[in-house]
């Protein structure tokens, strides 16, 4: 957990006065529903108890000063002239401020201090947490009415248009809407969602493979294009479809052979993953964790064989987890090509599960992984610390 008191102190040291507010936005882990969000489909993520915090104070001019307590780095820019920086983390902040400015909101500058305990580059959405925290801080400082889906869409547009990553809406949406002890079943077409409680006897265990996701951006964009191609081809028979979300498994099966590879496999993953996600939320609602775990295992097989976004090391982590006592199901989570796995594990088995998983991974790959036992937490909001609620 980030220490809010020391963030407040560091802000004071940095700028010479206390912050006006401190905002916290969580990272996320997706339980099921992978690579479905940009196909207008369904996802089932949780916001985790690792977050990015922004301590902030308004200025009277249009300057934005940013200090990062983790990176020991600074950035300064004017709201009038926002250009891309060669430092990626600058662009998440600049992109959000530009998106707010372009949406016509009147903005004053701000002094910001950023701190985060979401591991970077691991597929736990540290970037969405940063975008959402910064967007929330600016809307609070400038008393704008931007909350819920509006804030998530604004953060996503910063990532799509300024940072240049064609991500879907899942990460920003769960960073905004997350609910403690719940997972959210989100319909990525109309952005409606339902919060479903996680069974208290089960833990969400994330394992970071520490394999850098170097191929992730190019492979991600390529997968998106392949899904678009699938839709275009399927429209010959189903002119009414707008996205793979509109295609049933029967409809796909009827014309599967007419689709060339790899488009065929990509479509099969997305269409079956939507079914698994809806079914998963349903069985979890009835408390059938074992059935949910089986769907997670099937999801991984589909990501590995049809969507081809896994790696041998990740497959090893998942296969090991699936065999260990107390594990209901395990899969790759996030965009893939490295990053993390997620497993649902009986609370009483967490310790031996984690130890054995790490040992087996080290033996097989020579690599050291890290386990995070995550608690589902709330989405973005102001932090209350021992000094009381922020003004
Ligand atoms: C990344 C993207 C999300 C989503 C996942 C895959 O995390 O940012 O929008 O597409 O990959 O499910």
Residue nearest to atom 11 of ligand 1 (CA): 335
Q: Report the pLDDT value the prediction gives residue 387, as an integer from 0 to 100.
A: 57
> Which neighbouring-strand residues pair with 66?
75, 112
Residue 366 lies in a domain: yes
Q: Report the pLDDT value the prediction gives residue 380, as an integer from 0 to 100.
A: 98
Residue nearest to atom 9 of ligand 1 (CA): 168
113 and 230 in a common domain: no
Q: Report the pLDDT value the prediction gives residue 391, as an integer from 0 to 100.
A: 43
Residue 391 lies in a domain: no
**What's the chain's Rg over C-alpha atoms?**
21
Q: How far apart are CA 104 and CA 208, in angstroms?
A: 40
Q: Report the pLDDT value the prediction gives residue 385, as an integer from 0 to 100.
A: 63
> DSSP states of 297-315 as a string?
HHHHHHHHHTS----HHHH
209 and 192 in a common domain: no
Determine if residue 338 is left, alpha or beta; phi over 0 gives left, psi from -120 to 50 gives alpha, anything else beta.
left
27 and 72 in a common domain: yes
- Ligand 1 neighbours, Cβ below 6 Å, are 34-35, 37-38, 167-168, 170-171, 334-335
Residue nearest to atom 1 of ligand 1 (CA): 335
CATH number at residue 13: 3.30.230.10
Q: Report the pLDDT value the prediction gives residue 348, as an integer from 0 to 100.
A: 97
Atom of ligand 1 nearest to the CA of 170: 9
Q: What is the DSSP letter of 239?
A: T
Atom of ligand 1 nearest to the CA of 123: 7
246 and 144 in a common domain: no
Q: Report the pLDDT value the prediction gives residue 192, as an integer from 0 to 100.
A: 98
Q: How far apart are CA 327 and CA 203, in angstroms?
A: 10
Atom of ligand 1 nearest to the CA of 34: 12
Q: Report the pLDDT value the prediction gives residue 69, as an integer from 0 to 100.
A: 86
19 and 63 in a common domain: yes
173 and 87 in a common domain: yes
176 and 310 in a common domain: no
Atom of ligand 1 nearest to the CA of 35: 12
179 and 240 in a common domain: no
Judge contact between 96 and 143, C-beta under 8 A: no
323 and 210 in a common domain: yes
Q: What stretches in the chain show pLDDT beneath 50?
A: 388-391
Residue indicated by tokens 């947490």: 129
Residue 388 lies in a domain: no
251 and 125 in a common domain: no
Q: Give the pTM.
A: 0.96
Count how many domains the chain has: 2
**128 CA to middle of ligand 1, Å?**
10
Best residue among 31, 168, 226, 333 to mutate for probing ligand 1's pocket (most ligand atoms within 8 Å of CB) is: 168
| Start-to-end C-alpha separation, the chain | 22
Residue 389 lies in a domain: no
Q: How far apart are CA 131 and CA 93, in angstroms?
A: 6
303 and 260 in a common domain: yes
Q: What is the DSSP letter of 241?
A: -
Q: Report the pLDDT value the prediction gives residue 74, as an integer from 0 to 100.
A: 93
131 and 27 in a common domain: yes
**168 CA to middle of ligand 1, Å?**
6
Q: So which residues are the catalytic ones?
A: 171
Judge contact between 38 and 224, C-beta under 8 A: yes
Domain of 348, in residue numbers? 202-374
């Amino acid at each position: 957990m980030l220490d809010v008191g020391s963030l407040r102190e560091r802000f004071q040291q940095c700028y010479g006065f206390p912050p006006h507010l401190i905002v916290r936005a969580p990272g996320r882990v997706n339980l099921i529903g992978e690579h479905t969000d940009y196909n207008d489909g369904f996802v089932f993520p949780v916001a985790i108890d690792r977050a990015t915090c922004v301590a902030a104070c308004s200025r009277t001019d249009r300057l934005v000063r940013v200090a990062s307590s983790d990176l020991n780095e600074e950035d300064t820019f004017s709201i009038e002239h926002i250009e891309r920086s060669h430092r990626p983390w600058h662009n998440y902040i600049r992109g959000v401020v530009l998106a707010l400015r372009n949406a016509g909101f009147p903005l004053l500058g701000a002094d910001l201090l950023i701190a985060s305990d979401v591991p970077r580059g691991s597929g736990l959405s540290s970037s969405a947490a940063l975008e959402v925290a910064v967007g929330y801080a600016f809307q609070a400082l400038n008393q704008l009415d931007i909350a819920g889906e509006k804030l998530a869409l604004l953060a996503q547009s910063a990532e799509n248009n300024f940072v240049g990553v064609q991500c879907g809406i899942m990460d920003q949406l769960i960073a905004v809407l997350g609910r403690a002890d719940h997972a959210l079943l989100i319909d990525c077409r109309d952005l409606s969602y339902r919060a479903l409680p996680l069974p208290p006897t089960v833990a969400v265990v994330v394992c970071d493979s520490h394999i850098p996701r170097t191929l992730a951006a190019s492979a991600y964009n390529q997968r998106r294009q392949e899904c678009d191609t699938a839709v275009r081809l399927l429209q010959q028979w189903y002119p009414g479809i707008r996205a793979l979300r509109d295609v049933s498994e029967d409809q796909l099966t009827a014309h599967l052979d007419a689709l060339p590879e790899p488009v065929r496999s990509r479509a099969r993953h997305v269409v079956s993953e939507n079914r698994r996600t809806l079914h998963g939320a349903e069985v979890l609602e009835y408390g059938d964790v074992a059935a949910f775990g089986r769907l997670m295992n099937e999801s991984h097989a589909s990501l590995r064989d049809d969507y081809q976004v896994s790696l041998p090391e990740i497959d090893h982590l998942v296969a090991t987890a699936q065999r260990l006592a107390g594990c209901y199901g395990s899969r790759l989570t996030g965009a893939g090509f490295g990053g993390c796995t997620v497993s649902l594990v009986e609370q009483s088995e967490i310790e031996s599960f984690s130890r054995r998983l790490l040992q087996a991974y080290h033996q097989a790959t020579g690599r050291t992984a890290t386990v995070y036992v995550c608690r589902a937490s709330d989405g973005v909001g102001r932090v209350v610390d021992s000094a009381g609620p922020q003004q």
